[in-house]
Amino acid sequence: MPHGICIVDAGGVITDVNAAFVSMTGFAQDTLVGSGLPFPHWPDEHRDACAASLRDALAGRITEAELVLRRRDGSRFPALLTMSVLAEDGGASEGIVAVLRETSRETDEHALLQEAHRVARLVSWEYDPGSGLVELSRELTDMEGGHVPRVTTLDRALELLTNTDAQALREWLARVGGGGDGSTILESELVQPERNLDWALPLPNPRWVETRMRAIRDPSGALTGGVHGTTQDITARKLADLAGRGSEQRLRETQRIGEVGSFEIDCRTRMVTWSPQLYRLFDVHAGICSGELDFLLGLIPAQDASALARLADAVTVDGRPRELEHRYLRAGTMRYAETRLEPLGTGPARGVRGTLRDVTARRLAEDEAHLRGQLLDTVDAAVIATDLDAIVTHWSRGAERLYGWARSETVGRPLRRLTVDAGGRDDGRRLVECLIASGPAVARHQLARKDGARFQGLVRTSLLTDTSGAPAGVIAVVVGLDGTAGDVRGNRRPIV
C-alpha cells in the first residue's frame, strides 16, 4: 500500500492529505482537511500519546513515532509516522509533514510469537502422592503420537525430562503439595527416555515445555497433598527467541500449533482491539467489526459473556491473571474456548489484555471419553482396557464386581497381576504382543479375584488403535462362566 501523507500547520490543523491517507483511515478528505485537535483518526484511548507526539514533532524533538490510529469503522491499526518540520530558510516552524506507513503485518507477527509464548496448552494433569499416579489429559496423546495412557506413574512421566529437570519437578511437586509456593512455574526440556517406553516416541526436534502447579484442596479447604498442573509446549517461543522474528512460514506454523487470538479491552471506552487470528477464530471480517465490546460479547452466549465480564472486573481490581473456559460462536456454530485475561499496564488497570484459544477438539474428545466410560459401566460384563505395556487404563464397574478390585486400585497397575497371578513377573506384555500378531481372540482362562479365589472366565480380547490405525492398547471383555459377571461365588459353582 502507498504511504499516506498528512500536512499539519503550526496551529495543529490538517491542511492537506493524499489519497493513500484517506484510504488508510477511511475518513473522507473533506472530513480530515481543516480538522483540529483531536484529529478524527486518533483513538480516544491513545489520544494523549498522539497529541504528545505531535507536540514533539512540531518542536523538532522527534522525527518518528509508533502510534495506534483509528479507522472510520472504529477498528484500530498500528502505524509508523516519519515527520519533518516545515520552515522557510531556517525560520520558525510552520508545521510538519507526516508520512504514514501501516505496520499491521509486523505487529501481527510479533503478537503471534507472544501468543505462542503464553498459550498452546497441551496437557493438564493431577498427581496423587499416595499412589504415585499421574492422571493426564487427552492432549498428551497428540503430543506423543497417540500412545500415552490417561493414567501413569510419576517415575514413568519423569523419564520424558532431562535428569536435572526431572529432579527439580519432583522436588517442586512435594513442596507445592505441602502448601508451599502456591503457584509455581518450571521450564523443562523433553528428551527420549533411555528405557524404551512404547508411548514415548522419538523426538526429532528439540521440545520445551512450561509447567504450572498448584496444590489440591478438599471441599473444606484442607490440603490433600495432591498437585494439579498444566504443561504447555513453548517450543515455538524458544525457537523464536533463538532465531529472532521469524518468517511468514513459521508464523503460519505457530497459528496451526495453537489456534489462538489476542485482544485488548479499554474499560473506559469499551473498545476492543482484535488480532487478525481473533477475526479468523470468530469468522468475522474486520470491515464489519465495530470494535465495541458489545459486538464481541454478542458472539458469546449470554451466560458465558456474564462470567467473562465478572472475570475482567476481578482482574482490573486486583491485577491477578485469570482463566475461564466458555462457549463462543463461529459462523453460527457453538464452539469452546479458553480465555486468559491479565491487566493492561501497571498500577490501577485501565483495561485488560487477553488470549482466546479454541479448545473445541479437546472438549469434544473429553466428553466422548466420559460418555464411553459411562456406557462401559452399564455393561454387566467386566470391561478392561490397557495400554501397550498392559498397564490398566480403564476398569469398569462390572470388573469391580467380578474381580473385587476397586477402580482406584487398578488404574496404572499391570493387568495380569490383578487378574491372573498377583506374585508373577509377567505383567501382560506377551498378551499384547500376541494380540498384535494374531488379532482378536476368544478363550477360556483360569482367573483370580482379589481375595485369591479362582474362577473360570470367558475372555474376548481385541486391539485398540489410534486415529492412524496404529496399535494403542487392548480392550478385554470378561464374563464369569457361572453366568453372572459379578458373582464372587463363581469358583464354587459348576462350570457351564
Q: Can you give the pLDDT at residue 62?
A: 80
**pLDDT tier for residue 180 given thresholds of 50, 70 and 90:** low
The interaxial angle of helices 248-257 and 235-243, nearest 10 deg, is 160
Cα 415 to Cα 289, 377, 405, 428, 452: the distances in Å are: 57, 18, 12, 6, 15
Q: What pLDDT shows up at residue 142?
A: 45
pLDDT above 70 covers a percentage of the chain that reads 72
Query: Which grid cell is 85?
Result: 518540520
pLDDT band at 377 (very low <50, low <70, confident <90, very high): low
pLDDT (0 to 100) of residue 332: 83
Q: Is the entire prediction scored with pTM above 0.85?
A: no
pLDDT at 211 over 50: yes
- Please state the φ and ψ torsions of residue 171, each to the nearest 5 degrees: -65, -40
Domains and CATH numbers, the chain: 4-102 (3.30.450.20), 122-233 (3.30.450.20), 259-360 (3.30.450.20), 379-492 (3.30.450.20)
The closest of 423, 387, 420, 388 to 403, measured between CA atoms, is: 420
Judged against a pLDDT cut of 50, whether residue 281 lies above it is answered with: yes
**Span 256-273, mean pLDDT?**
79
CA 453: distance to chain centroid?
48
Report the C-alpha gap between 308 and 302 in whole angstroms: 10
User: Which band of pLDDT confidence, cut at 50, 70 and 90, is reported for residue 146?
Assistant: very low
Note the pLDDT of residue 370. Answer: 60
Between CA 272 and CA 265 the distance in angstroms is 5
DSSP assignment string, 424-440: -S--SHHHHHHHHHH--
The pLDDT of residue 359 is 85
37-46, 81-90, 478-487: segment of lowest average pLDDT? 478-487
Q: Identify whether the C-beta of residue 30 lies closer than 8 Å to the C-beta of residue 22.
A: no
Residues 211, 229 contacting (CB under 8 angstroms): yes
**Is-contact 407 450, C-beta < 8 A?**
no
Task: Give the residue with greater pLDDT, 43 vs 162.
Answer: 43
Instruction: Work out the burial of residue 261: count CB atoms within 10 Å of its CB; fewer than 13 is exposed, 13-18 middle, 19 or more buried.
Output: buried
pLDDT of 299 reads 92
CA distance 246 to 234: 15
Kindly provide the residue ranges of all beta strands, DSSP E only, lying in 191-238, ordered along the sequence: 207-217, 223-233
The span from the CA of 7 to the CA of 16, in Å, is 5
CA angle at 44 for the pair 43 and 45, rounded to the nearest 5°: 90
Q: What is the pLDDT of residue 40?
A: 94
User: Which class for 297: exposed (0-12), middle (13-18), buried (19 or more C-beta within 10 A)?
Assistant: middle
Average pLDDT over residues 407-427: 73
At residue 401, the 3 state secondary structure works out as helix
303-317 average pLDDT score? 90
Q: For position 215, what pLDDT does the model report? A: 85
**Residue 384 grid coordinates:** 478392561
Q: Tens digit of pLDDT for each residue in 424-456? A: 555 566 777 777 777 788 888 888 888 888 888
Spatial separation of the C-alpha atoms in residues 194 and 198, rounded to whole Å: 12
Higher pLDDT, 10 or 241: 10
Q: Say if residue 144's pLDDT is above 90.
A: no
